[in-house]
Amino acid sequence: MITALAGGVGAARFLQGAIKVVPQNELTVIVNTGDDIELFGLHISPDIDIVTYTLAGLVDEEKGWGVKGDSFNCLKMLGRYGYETWFQLGDMDLATHIHRTLLLRKGMSLSEATYKISRSLGLKVKIIPMTNEKFRTFIKTDKGLMHFQEFLVKRKAKDKVLGIVFKGSGKAKPSPDVINSIINSEIIIICPSNPIVSIGTILSLRGVREALKETCGVVAGVSPIIRGAPLKGPADILMKALNIDVSAYSVAKLYRDFLDVFVIDNQDRDQIKEIASLGIKVYTTNTIMKTLKDKVHLARFTIEKAKQCMK
Ligand code: FO1
C-alpha cells in the first residue's frame, strides 16, 4: 500500500504518473481541505476536485483545475444577478459542488461524499479529505484577514502577507483512515505541494506528524521548489512571509522529523550535501512535470528510491 499526502495541481500531476506505476486500489491519497470554500451555498473542495478530475482524465490540463471543455453559463447568469464571480466555477464543475453539497446535507461526511464522487467518476484510488471537520486557511495581510482563495484568486496574491492562520486546526481531527493509512503503508509520499498551506495543513492535524514519525513505512518527499521558486502557486510568497528561505533544503528542514527520502530537481544538485546533513537520503532527477512521461518518470523514480530504502 502507498499513501500520499496531497495539495492541488502539483500533487495531482505527480499522482497521474503514480497510477501508471501502481494499481489504483493500492493507493490512498490524503488531500488538503484548508482551501475549501462555501460559495452560492455550495461546498467547494478545490484540491479534492483537482486530484479527482486529474486522475479521472477530466481536468483542464492547461489550468490544472476545473473540467476541460467546461462552459461558464451559470456563472455568467449569477453575475447578472449581481453575485461576485471571481472564482471561476464552470457548469460541469458546479454539478460536482451541487452533488457534494446535497450529499453533505443528507448527512454524509465529506469522506463519504468524496468516495461517492470519485467512484462515480470511475476511480479506484482511495481519495480522502484530511478532515471531515471545518478547517479553513486564512491569510493575514495588510488589507486584513482573508480566506486563502480570496487572497490567491480574488486578490491575485498581491497583498502583503503578515501571517497564516489555520482556523480549526486546534480542534480538527483527521478523517477516519488518515492515521491508519499512514501507519500501515509501506511507502508514504509527500507530494510536490505547497509545504505551508497544502502539506502544512495536513501536518497540523492531531496525530498526523506523530504517525509519520512512527510508521514503519518509508516516508519519501518530492520537492515543490526548484531553483528557489515553486512551479505554480504562492509557496514562495508564503515561505518568505514566514521568514523561511525558499529552497528545497528549507522544505526538507520542515519535514526533517519524519522524512527518509527526498527527491529534488537536477538543478538543485548543489543542495544535496546540506539536505543529507539532516539525515535524509537525497536523490536528484527531473521534477518538472510537463508531459505524462515526465509524471510517470517522477512517480516511478520516487517509488523506486523509497523501495530501495526499505531493503
Ligand atoms: N484558481 C484560480 O487561479 N482561479 C480560479 O478562478 C479558480 C477556480 C477554481 C474552481 C474550482 C476548483 O476546483 C479550483 C479552482 N481554482 C482556481 C484553483 C484553486 O484556487 C487553487 O489552485 C487551489 O485551491 C490551490 O491548490
Mean pLDDT across 269-294 = 97
CA distance 48 to 39: 16
- Looking at 2.40.50.140, 1.10.760.10, 1.10.8.240, 3.40.50.2300, the CATH number of the domain 38-127 comes to 1.10.8.240
Show the cell assigned to 47.
484540491
Ligand 1 pocket test, candidate residues 37, 38, 68, 87, most atoms within 8 A of CB: 87
Residue 107's contacts (CB-CB under 8 Å, 6 or more residues apart) are: none
Q: Alpha helix locations (H) across the chain?
A: 9-18, 46-55, 73-80, 91-105, 110-120, 148-149, 178-184, 199-203, 208-214, 235-241, 248-255, 272-276, 292-310
SS3 39: strand
Would the pLDDT of 210 be above 80?
A: yes
The CATH superfamily holding the domain 1-37+128-311 is CofD-like domains (3.40.50.10680)
CA distance 71 to 83: 18
C-alpha dihedral, 140 to 144 to 146 to 148, nearest 10°: -40
| 124 vs 232, residue with greater confidence | 124
Would the pLDDT of 171 be above 90?
A: no
Question: pLDDT at position 172, please?
Answer: 86
Would the pLDDT of 233 be above 90?
A: no
Residue 205's contacts (CB-CB under 8 Å, 6 or more residues apart) are: 130, 131, 135, 169, 172, 173, 174, 178
Mean pLDDT across 195-206 = 96
CA of residue 205 to ligand 1 center, whole Å: 23
Question: pLDDT at position 86, please?
Answer: 98
Question: pLDDT at position 194, please?
Answer: 97
Show the cell assigned to 204.
497540523
Would the pLDDT of 155 be above 80?
A: yes
CA distance 68 to 70: 5
pLDDT single digits (tens) 55-70: 999 999 999 999 999 9
Judge if the beta carbon of residue 153 lies within 6 A of ligand 1. yes
Please state the separation of Cα 275 from the chain's center in Å. Answer: 23
| 168 vs 75, residue with greater confidence | 75
pLDDT single digits (tens) 247-266: 999 999 999 999 999 999 99
Judge if the beta carbon of residue 8 lies within 6 A of ligand 1. yes
CA of residue 158 to ligand 1 center, whole Å: 16
What residue's CA is closest to ligand 1, atom 16? 65
Domains 1-37+128-311 and 38-127 share a fold: no
Judge if the beta carbon of residue 70 lies within 6 A of ligand 1. no
Judge if the beta carbon of residue 31 lies within 6 A of ligand 1. no
Question: pLDDT at position 169, please?
Answer: 67
Question: pLDDT at position 147, please?
Answer: 98
Judge if the beta carbon of residue 47 lies within 6 A of ligand 1. yes
CA distance 182 to 171: 20
Mean pLDDT across 129-150 = 97
Would the pLDDT of 311 be above 70?
A: no
Enumerate the domain spans of the chain.
Answer: 1-37+128-311, 38-127
